[in-house]
Amino acid sequence: MTFDLIIRNANLPDGRKGMDIGVAKGKIKAVGSNLVGDAATEIDAAGMLVSPPFVDPHFHMDATLSLGRPRLNQSGTLLEGIALWGELKPIQTRDDIVERALRYCDLAVSQGLLAIRSHVDICDDTLLGVEALLDVKAKVAPYLDLQLVAFPQDGFYRSASAEQNLIRALGMGVDVVGGIPHFERTMADGARSVRALCEIAAERGLRVDMHCDETDDPNSRHIETLAFEAQRLGLQGRVAGSHLTSMHSMDNYYVSKLLPLIEEAGVAAIANPLINMVIQGRHDTYPKRRGMTRVPEMTGAGIPVAFGSDCVMDPWYPLGQADMLEVAHMGLHVAQLTSRDQMKWCFEAVTETPARILGLEGYGLEPGCNADMIVLQAKDPIDAIRTKAARLHVIRRGKVIASQSRKISNLSLEGRPAIVDPADYAPTENPKS
């Protein structure tokens, strides 16, 4: 059989080793050991991990790389970040947004991040950000899937024209309905906004992704309303609650009632560990709450949970580099996910799980999937997170679109066997006894 590309001797995220992947016409055609065939391009993965690309399910591309404009966030809080973004909006141009977004997309591709769900603020009546990111979405489509969420940053009801702007944005081609119920003027308005926004999505057959309960206030319970509306309107599998940080501080009894309701409603959760760590708990003295949502508990209840990056060098976060392994690494620490299965789960939380939440078609490594892959300088997903592995090759539709050199710090460990099972570390019998 003739292929356009064959990757030889790859370790796959599901644990299969020594696999060959044959690609033709932009699709994966065959996966197996010792694949027979020729190809114009052959890559020897040499026992390194080949994965589908990273997926970032929560980002703000209209604000990215704007750090310092017009000033820095002094308090580090969510509210100062929102105020600062409000100062930047009137002074930035459409070209500014496009230029920063394109630079970010280039960075993302170099990191093997080939699908991003980005919120776009619709509270500015000019809809400058919407126009800019729709333009960017079309420009980057050959190499990156950009999904846009109509996000009423200043409140769906709190901002006078947000309701009509959101409808306009959807009409212009924005894909997903967003919201921010905890920022509305009252809890009642927050709940009302969740209801209205879910109805807008249901009428148009769209997905929903709301910033939901991004606060340390345990009484912020809009996720309850979001789950209720998802079920009432038949939106199961199409709704995500982003952040859900109030759940960190909620009463345990209430959470024990809440989690099955979220699962039953088919609502997914997106935690943003880097941002949650710097934004939450800012009003605490000591002990300081971590503020990230209850990741292992939700996963245990059958709720899909993904990790997003949220912000890179913007009014809310001064660091970041489009590195989803960095996001997984932080999420692993904050949620204390250190068993081998949990660490593997963290890799899925920045690949397969967000791909499902975004509804990406053709994602994966099975025959018939899009030939979108990354070759990582790591033996397995855990190693990839540990070392924030170099992306040796980034492949889109069967073509190598970016390559990185190996990290020298990892070279000395490459010859060691990959850990496949905790049983490898079981105590051995003492020959002297």
Stretch that binds Fe ion, among 200-208, 287-295, 302-310, 327-335 (CB under 5 A): 302-310
Question: CB of residue 60 vs Fe ion: minimum separation in angstroms?
Answer: 6
Question: CB of residue 211 vs Fe ion: minimum separation in angstroms?
Answer: 5
Q: Which is nearer to Fe ion, 213 or 310 (CB)?
A: 310
**Which residue's beta carbon is nearest to the bound Fe ion?**
310
Asked if 99 is an active-site residue, the reply is no
Q: Establish if 184 lies at the interface with Fe ion (CB under 5 A).
A: no
Question: CB of residue 243 vs Fe ion: minimum separation in angstroms?
Answer: 7
Q: Which is nearer to Fe ion, 310 or 352 (CB)?
A: 310
CB 133 within 8 A of CB 165: no
Catalytic residue of the set 80, 87, 203, 214: 214
3-state per-residue secondary structure call for the chain: CEEEEEEEEEECCCCCCCEEEEEECCEEEEEECCCCCEEEEEEECCCCEEECCEEEEEECCCCCCCCCCCCCCCCCCHHHHHHHHHHHHHHCCHHHHHHHHHHHHHHHHHCCEEEEEEEEECCCCCCHHHHHHHHHHHHHCCCCEEEEEEECCCCCCCCCCHHHHHHHHHHHCCCEECCCHHHCCCHHHHHHHHHHHHHHHHHHCCEEEEEECCCCCCCCCHHHHHHHHHHHCCCCCCEEEEECCHHHHCCHHHHHHHHHHHHHCCEEEEECHHHHHHHCCCCCCCCCCCCCCCHHHHHHCCCCEEECCECCCCCCCCCCCCCHHHHHHHHHHHCCCCCHHHHHHHHHCCCHHHHHHHCCCCCCCCCCCECCEEEECCCCHHHHHHHCCCEEEEEECCEEEEECCCCHHHHCCCCCCCCCCHHHHCCCCCCCC
Total residues found in the chain within this entry: 433
Stretch that binds Fe ion, among 107-115, 202-210, 257-265, 309-317 (CB under 5 A): 309-317
Question: CB of residue 58 vs Fe ion: minimum separation in angstroms?
Answer: 6
Q: Which is nearer to Fe ion, 157 or 183 (CB)?
A: 183
For residue 401, the tally of other CB atoms under 10 A from its CB is 17
Q: Which is nearer to Fe ion, 166 or 371 (CB)?
A: 166
What does the per-residue mask of binding to Fe ion show for 310-329, with x meaning CB under 5 A?
x-------------------
Question: CB of residue 223 vs Fe ion: minimum separation in angstroms?
Answer: 15
Question: CB of residue 320 vs Fe ion: minimum separation in angstroms?
Answer: 13
Stretch that binds Fe ion, among 14-22, 65-73, 123-131, 306-314 (CB under 5 A): 306-314
Number of shown-chain residues binding Fe ion (CB under 5 A): 1
Q: Which is nearer to Fe ion, 101 or 365 (CB)?
A: 101
Q: Which is nearer to Fe ion, 210 or 371 (CB)?
A: 210
Write phi, then psi, for 332 (nearest 5 degrees): -60, -45
What does the per-residue mask of binding to Fe ion show for 109-138, with x meaning CB under 5 A?
------------------------------
Stretch that binds Fe ion, among 49-57, 133-141, 251-259, 308-316 (CB under 5 A): 308-316
Q: Which is nearer to Fe ion, 61 or 265 (CB)?
A: 61
Question: CB of residue 201 vs Fe ion: minimum separation in angstroms?
Answer: 18
Stretch that binds Fe ion, among 32-40, 152-160, 307-315, 324-332 (CB under 5 A): 307-315
Interface residues with Fe ion (CB under 5 A)?
310
Q: Which residues are catalytically annotated?
A: 214
